[in-house]
Structure 1
Amino acid sequence: MKRILYLSFYFEPDLCAGSFRNSPLAKELAKQADGKVIIDIITTLPNRYNTFDVGAPAFEERDNITINRVLIPKHKSGFADQINSFKTYFFEAEKIIKGKKYDMVFASSSRLFTAYLGYKIAKKQKIPLYLDIRDIFTDTMNDVLKNAILKTGVLMVLKNIEKRVFNYATHINLISGGFRSYFAKYKKPAYSYFSNGIDPEFLDLSPSPENNTGQCLITYAGNIGEGQGLHKIIPQAAKRLGDKYKFLVIGDGGVKQKLLEGLKAENVTNVELKEPVSRKELLEIYKKSDFLFLHLNDYDAFKKVLPSKIFELGAYDKPMIAGVAGFANQFINENVPNHILFLPGDVDGMVSQLKNYTYTTGFREDFIRKFKREQINTEMAKSILAYV
């Protein structure tokens, strides 16, 4: 029987976009490959949030899937922490596969490192490499690193790795159409554009209950990192909007302290912070909210991305508030009706639109029909299996 090595740093029951993408995709792949292919998944034990701890077995076997979960050091999502975590994942993965022969490697990667691990294994075994690229890491580092000497050195190393990995790949899936121009220089791989999608738990939702509290609840759930830039928008917007609106921020991350400092500086009382919750609990919180919020920092790299959060929030019948630029801005404008759309950090744009907004709800039927995760996974799994 043939074997696929499936690499994803995040997997269920972890709480993040990487886990939500790869857990159902792997199951669909196993379903289509049943009786013909074994899928060996190497991932990590849940670690996305330092403050959310949920148990998971280090090894699992489910029909034609095996799951190895690597224990990585506790971290707070800082840059050095992430390097240390990946080093552990890299070396443990190499130990797990020692003596095993595969027919192809599939790697889902947002920070390039998982793609690099996939490349090292595929090249050594002389087998096809299928990459699922969720972010352009060199772009992000170019924006995030402020020290010019450090930036030059890091980018030189990353671009060299990128060149080797992408030139070797047999097939590259780009999660955002905004990545297309960046990858035009890599001619060898075949390309596909399977985006994120709407998970089954966000389908068939009941209509929103009426809000009789007199206060509109704006909910954000996810990472509180430099990439989201919440500290640049929420404290200022909350102050301008006043007590008629309340922000609920659910999550954790590397710049949570900056957000807390911003709230203190603006002296606002209409923002509540809550630790990460399970997806089941989050569904209930979204249901009780009036607006669902999304924001990315004002980085050039983020003009190419398509956040998975759009699909989650767009499945509800509630208005979406989104501070994004580039491809994501265009995508929401074209595909997600009933939105308040502004550029990252534009407090004036957000506040003025919200104050002038006539509240309305309604499910986005066309959007839901077009972007069901199940449908996307079925096609993507077929695409992967074509190389075995």
Structure 2
Amino acid sequence: MKILLINKFHYKRGGSETYYFALAEALIAKGHKVIYFAMQDEKNLPCAQSKYFVSNVDYNGRKQGMLSKIKLGLKIFYSFEAKEKMKKLIREEKPDVAHIGLIHRQITFSVVDVLKKYNIPIIMTMHDLIFACPNYTMLSRTGICEDCMDKGIVSCVKKLCIKDSKAKSFIGVMEAKFLKIGKYYNKIDLYIAECEQYKALMKKSKFTKSKIINMTNFLPINQEYKFNEEYKDYILYFGRFSKEKGILTLLKAHKQMECKYKLIIVGDGLIKDELQKYIDENRLTNVELLGAIYGDEMEKIIERSRIIVVPSEWYENCPYSILQSIAKGKVVIASRIGGLPELIEDKKTGYLFEAGNADDLEIKINFIMQLDRKEYEKISYRILYSAKEKHYWEKYIDELISKYMKLIRSKKCVDHNKI
């Protein structure tokens, strides 16, 4: 089978790209051929189909004139370049099925029109909340917000949800209206939600008539399931530095514990300076605020930690930070929010705390740090076993391939002679 994977980014950027590349690797391991469609970028990994990639679109780049802004704004809704390049790619490669990740605003749903024209089955994995929120996150300035579902998407403009800008929020709402009027979400044959909570939100939003299923993420095929018994007694956060990730709540808990445990924070993002300011103003000690770290170096930092904290304060999906951690037998303390409780069985394979509650987080951290080595390792090996049982790649891929085959049969096969 030849599978076309579509994602705006073709480099290791976040959880969506971790999934994208892990999926490709697993499908290839099962004997299938994978082809790609993405956006051009100097950070892209080598790819045989890169000549078909759509031109780079950066909505956060340098200042531009009014005409350039208007042209760029129109590209958010529909990319004719992506449409033409997708046609050429399909004629050349003749895929049997397409699997979409992130495409909004850079690639756009113009490629879906092409896939439908050639009767190619389409699966889409929903990595974010854009189906119900033009701001992707269901966050307003005051916290979690479901107003776009309950009161209509014009709420996005009223609350200036997209980067505190009326213009950007208006464009986001217009994009949502364009997709609804064009019934683009109904053109996808099957949606995959990465957690049950997202599936419930997708159904509540009534954004599509297509089928929605839940398939919890898998770990890459090269993932080692191994607990390092030479761990150290430090607490670790790694990931994006943004408000909704709850890092300030972690720092508040660290302050309340009088900085008695070493805390390492790894990553980068918009609030890095704010985090450093909080550390300085509160004279926090025993804390290291590091930049982004990848590869083997990051793996070692995870392995040597005692606790991984995931203090999210938004509807987190199925983060690879948790999957990576439990594959090493690490005890994860996570917020009781979004899809996180689906990954952690409280007090058995990790611990949950009330999102945004530094007092509750402090209690959980103290409990784990005070466990003796024997008790801690007993929990760790239980976590390790659970991770392999629930997130091993082959089980996921076999189920996904069966979904592909079912869709192909329902389409009565792609007629490559017409391509």
Cα–Cα, structure 1 residues 6 and 378, in superposed 2: closer, same or farther, change >3 Å?
same
How far does residue 246 in structure 1 lie from its aligned partner after superposition?
1.7
Q: TM-score, normalised by structure 2?
A: 0.72
Q: TM-score, normalised by structure 1?
A: 0.77
2:196 to 153, 170, 177: 177
Q: Is the 8 A contact 2:190 2:210 kept in 1?
A: yes
Equivalent residue number for residue 288 of structure 2 = 272
The letter of the residue matching 2:19 is: R
2:86 to 72, 91, 97: 97
Equivalent residue number for residue 400 of structure 2 = 380
Q: Work out whether 1:108 is the aligned partner of 2:101.
A: yes
Equivalent residue number for residue 415 of structure 2 = none
Alpha-carbon distance between aligned partners in 2 of 1:110 and 1:245, rounded to the nearest angstrom: 42
Q: Is the 8 A contact 2:185 2:207 kept in 1?
A: yes
Cα–Cα, structure 1 residues 221 and 56, in superposed 2: closer, same or farther, change >3 Å?
same
Q: Work out whether 1:193 is the aligned partner of 2:214.
A: yes
Alpha-carbon distance between aligned partners in 2 of 1:177 and 1:115, rounded to the nearest angstrom: 26
Alpha-carbon distance between aligned partners in 2 of 1:44 and 1:77, rounded to the nearest angstrom: 16
Within 5 Å, which residues of 2 pair with 1:229-308? 229-230=246-247, 232-297=248-313, 299=314, 302=315, 305-308=317-320
Q: Work out whether 1:207 is the aligned partner of 2:206.
A: no
Give the unaligned 5+ runs of structure 1.
48-53
2:27 to 26, 29, 49: 29
How far does residue 128 in structure 1 lie from its aligned partner after superposition?
2.9
Equivalent residue number for residue 350 of structure 1 = 361
Alpha-carbon distance between aligned partners in 1 of 2:171 and 2:318, rounded to the nearest angstrom: 25
Q: Is the 8 A contact 1:106 1:118 kept in 2?
A: no
What does the per-residue CA deviation read over 1:332-365, in whole Å, with 9 as the maximum and x for residues that have no partner? 136x835232122211111122223332122221
Alpha-carbon distance between aligned partners in 2 of 1:112 and 1:176, rounded to the nearest angstrom: 24
Cα–Cα, structure 1 residues 112 and 132, in superposed 2: closer, same or farther, change >3 Å?
farther
Partner SS for 1:204: coil
Alpha-carbon distance between aligned partners in 2 of 1:91 and 1:261, rounded to the nearest angstrom: 45
What does the per-residue CA deviation read over 1:62-107, in whole Å, with 9 as the maximum and x for residues that have no partner? xxxx8966674678799x9xx99x9699566445324344554321
2:333 to 317, 321, 335: 321
Cα–Cα, structure 1 residues 210 and 313, in superposed 2: closer, same or farther, change >3 Å?
closer
- What RMSD over aligned residues (CA atoms) do the two structures have, in Å? 3.7
How far does residue 218 in structure 1 lie from its aligned partner after superposition?
0.9
Structure 1 window deviating more from structure 2 (195-204 vs 242-251): it is 195-204
Which protein shows a greater Rg? 2
Alpha-carbon distance between aligned partners in 2 of 1:310 and 1:348, rounded to the nearest angstrom: 22
How far does residue 131 in structure 1 lie from its aligned partner after superposition?
1.0
Alpha-carbon distance between aligned partners in 1 of 2:44 and 2:51, rounded to the nearest angstrom: 14
Equivalent residue number for residue 184 of structure 2 = 165
Structure 1 window deviating more from structure 2 (167-176 vs 353-362): it is 353-362
Q: Work out whether 1:43 is the aligned partner of 2:32.
A: no
Alpha-carbon distance between aligned partners in 2 of 1:188 and 1:95, rounded to the nearest angstrom: 27
Equivalent residue number for residue 60 of structure 1 = 48
Alpha-carbon distance between aligned partners in 2 of 1:180 and 1:114, rounded to the nearest angstrom: 24
What does the per-residue CA deviation read over 1:238-276, in whole Å, with 9 as the maximum and x for residues that have no partner? 212234212211111222222222222322122212222
Q: Number of paired residues? A: 359
Cα–Cα, structure 1 residues 318 and 175, in superposed 2: closer, same or farther, change >3 Å?
closer
Within 5 Å, which residues of 2 pair with 1:353-364? 353-357=364-368, 358-359=370-371, 360-361=376-377, 362-363=380-381, 364=383
Structure 1 window deviating more from structure 2 (16-25 vs 356-365): it is 356-365
Cα–Cα, structure 1 residues 320 and 171, in superposed 2: closer, same or farther, change >3 Å?
same
Percent of residue pairs identical: 17
Q: Work out whether 1:153 is the aligned partner of 2:153.
A: no
Cα–Cα, structure 1 residues 221 and 130, in superposed 2: closer, same or farther, change >3 Å?
same
Cα–Cα, structure 1 residues 97 and 193, in superposed 2: closer, same or farther, change >3 Å?
same
Structure 1 window deviating more from structure 2 (184-193 vs 309-318): it is 184-193
Q: Is the 8 A contact 1:60 1:68 kept in 2?
A: no
Partner SS for 1:242: coil
Q: Work out whether 1:128 is the aligned partner of 2:106.
A: no
Equivalent residue number for residue 345 of structure 2 = 333
What does the per-residue CA deviation read over 1:171-201, in whole Å, with 9 as the maximum and x for residues that have no partner? 1111111122233336642333222123344
Alpha-carbon distance between aligned partners in 1 of 2:278 and 2:59, rounded to the nearest angstrom: 23
Q: Which structure carries more strand by proportion? A: 1
Alpha-carbon distance between aligned partners in 2 of 1:32 and 1:145, rounded to the nearest angstrom: 45
Q: Is the 8 A contact 1:224 1:251 kept in 2?
A: yes
The letter of the residue matching 2:326 is: G
Alpha-carbon distance between aligned partners in 1 of 2:244 and 2:394, rounded to the nearest angstrom: 28
Alpha-carbon distance between aligned partners in 2 of 1:72 and 1:227, rounded to the nearest angstrom: 27
The letter of the residue matching 2:244 is: G
Cα–Cα, structure 1 residues 7 and 90, in superposed 2: closer, same or farther, change >3 Å?
farther
Alpha-carbon distance between aligned partners in 1 of 2:38 and 2:208, rounded to the nearest angstrom: 30
